[in-house]
C-alpha cells in the first residue's frame, strides 16, 4: 500500500430492499477504520434505495440497465478512489472491526490478492425459522471459518485496487458462478484467503420455498458452467451426500423387489448422507438446541436433495449442449 492508512472504497451493489440497505450503511458508519468511502450502486431499483444512501452521505451511482450485482460491482470499482476495494452485498451488516481487520491483513500479507470474510450464523433482519436455518447453513457451507478452503464469495470481499486492475473486473456475463470464475483467475497470480476476522450478518430469505428455488437454480447453473478447478475439495463430501439422497428416491421401490431387506436401503442412504455432513448437523444442535436441530435437519435434507437435483439437471443440460455443439459426422 502506498499510504500509511490506505483509503478503502466499500462498494455496495443495491437493488431495492432499502430498509436492509439502511442497516448495511449503519454498520459501515460504525466501522473502527476511519478512512472509508462508501459507493452504493443503484441497479435501476424501483424503491428509494438511492435516497436512503444519499441521506447517509455516501456516493451513489446508477447503472443504465438492471444487470444484477456483477456489473454493479464493476461500475462501483470504476468510480472508486481507494487503494483497497471492499465489495459488500447490500443485505450484509459488517461487524465494527471488519474493515480495519481487512486492511491489517492485506498490509501484512502482500501475497494475498483477494481476502474474503464470513457470515455469522445469525440472520440480520428476518428471524423466521427458515432464515435462521439459512444463516446456520450458509455459515457452515458458504464461508466456513472452521477449515481451510479455496472458496471465494464476492458478497464480502476485499481486493487491493492494483490487483483488481491487474486481474480485471468480474465477468459481467455471470451471475451464480462469478465468484468461482474470479477465484480461478485470481489464484493464477495471488493467494486467496478467508478470515473470520471479517464478519457480518446477512438478511436471509424468510421462506423455505424461496431457499429451495435459489438452491436449485444455483446448483443447476454451477454444474452447467463448471470448469476444471472450480470446486474446492471440502465440498466433495456434501456432493456425495446429495447423490445418496437422490439414490434414496428410486430405492423406495426396492421393497417390492427385495422385500423387507429392500425397505432398509432408503433410510440407510439417508443416514449415510447425513453422516457426510455430520459437522453441520452437530453445529445446529449444539448452537440452537434440540427443537431447532430437528427443524434444521428436515430442511437441510431438503436443501441437500434439491442442490443435488439441480446439479444433476445442470450436468444433463451440459451433456445435451455438448452433443449439440459436436460437429455432425459425415
Quick one: residue 226, left, alpha or beta (phi over 0 = left, psi -120 to 50 = alpha)? Answer: beta
Strand order in the sheet with 36-42: 59-62, 36-42, 8-14, 84-88, 156-160, 112-123, 191-202, 92-94
Please give the model's pTM, rounded to 2 decimal places.
Answer: 0.90
Q: What is the rounded distance in angstroms from the CA atom of residue 97 to the CA atom of residue 198?
A: 8
Helical H segments across the chain, by residue range: 18-29, 49-55, 69-78, 98-108, 129-141, 161-167, 178-187, 208-224, 236-251, 254-258, 260-263, 265-276, 278-325
HEC assignment per residue over 154-199: CCEEEEEHHHHHHHCCCCCCCCCCHHHHHHHHHHCCCEEEEEEEEE
Cβ-Cβ contacts under 8 Å for 127 (sequence gap 6 or more): none
Q: What is the rounded distance in angstroms from the CA atom of residue 44 to the CA atom of residue 14?
A: 9
Q: How many CA atoms lie within 13 A of 214 on its CB side?
A: 12
Q: How distant, in Å, are the alpha carbons of 34, 240, 260, 281 from that of 266?
A: 57, 15, 12, 19
Q: What is the pLDDT of residue 233?
A: 46
- pLDDT, averaged per 10 consecutive residues of the chain (330 residues), comes to 82 92 97 97 85 90 92 97 98 98 97 95 96 95 64 91 97 83 91 93 97 94 70 69 96 89 94 95 96 98 96 91 66
Q: What is the pLDDT of residue 330?
A: 43
For residue 285, count CB atoms less than 10 angstroms from its CB and return exposed for 0-12, middle for 13-18, buried for 19 or more: middle
Amino acid at each position: 500500500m502506498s499510504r500509511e492508512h490506505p483509503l478503502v472504497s466499500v462498494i455496495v451493489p443495491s437493488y431495492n430492499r432499502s430498509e436492509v440497505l439502511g442497516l448495511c450503511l449503519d454498520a459501515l458508519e460504525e466501522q473502527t477504520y476511519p478512512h472509508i468511502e462508501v459507493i452504493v450502486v443503484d441497479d435501476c431499483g424501483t424503491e428509494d434505495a438511492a435516497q436512503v444512501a444519499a441521506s447517509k452521505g455516501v456516493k451513489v451511482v446508477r447503472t443504465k440497465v438492471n444487470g444484477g450485482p456483477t456489473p454493479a460491482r464493476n461500475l462501483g470499482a470504476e468510480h472508486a478512489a481507494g487503494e483497497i476495494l471492499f465489495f459488500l452485498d447490500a443485505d450484509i451488516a459488517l461487524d465494527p472491526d471488519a474493515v480495519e481487520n481487512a486492511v491489517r491483513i492485506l498490509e501484512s500479507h502482500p501475497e494475498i490478492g483477494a481476502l474474503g470474510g464470513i457470515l455469522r450464523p445469525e440472520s440480520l433482519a428476518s428471524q423466521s425459522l427458515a432464515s435462521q436455518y439459512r444463516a446456520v447453513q450458509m455459515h457452515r457451507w458458504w464461508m466456513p471459518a472452521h477449515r481451510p478452503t479455496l472458496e471465494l464469495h464476492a458478497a464480502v470481499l476485499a481486493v487491493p485496487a492494483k490487483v483488481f486492475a491487474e486481474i480485471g473486473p468480474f465477468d459481467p456475463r455471470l451471475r451464480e458462478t462469478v465468484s468461482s470464475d474470479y477465484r480461478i483467475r485470481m489464484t493464477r497470480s495471488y493467494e486467496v484467503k478467508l478470515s473470520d476476522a471479517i464478519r457480518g450478518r446477512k438478511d436471509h430469505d424468510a421462506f423455505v420455498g424461496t431457499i429451495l428455488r435459489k438452491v436449485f437454480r444455483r446448483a443447476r447453473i454451477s454444474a452447467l458452467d463448471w470448469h476444471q478447478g472450480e470446486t474446492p475439495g471440502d465440498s466433495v463430501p456434501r456432493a456425495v451426500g446429495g447423490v445418496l439422497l437422490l439414490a434414496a428416491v428410486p430405492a423406495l421401490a426396492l421393497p417390492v423387489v427385495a422385500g423387507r431387506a429392500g425397505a432398509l436401503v432408503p433410510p440407510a442412504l439417508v443416514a449415510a448422507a447425513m453422516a457426510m455432513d455430520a459437522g453441520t448437523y452437530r453445529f445446529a444442535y449444539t448452537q440452537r438446541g434440540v427443537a431447532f436441530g430437528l427443524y434444521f435437519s428436515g430442511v437441510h435434507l431438503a436443501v441437500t436433495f434439491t442442490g443435488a437435483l439441480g446439479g444433476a439437471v445442470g450436468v444433463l443440460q451440459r451433456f445435451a449442449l455438448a452433443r449439440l455443439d459436436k460437429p455432425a459426422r459425415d
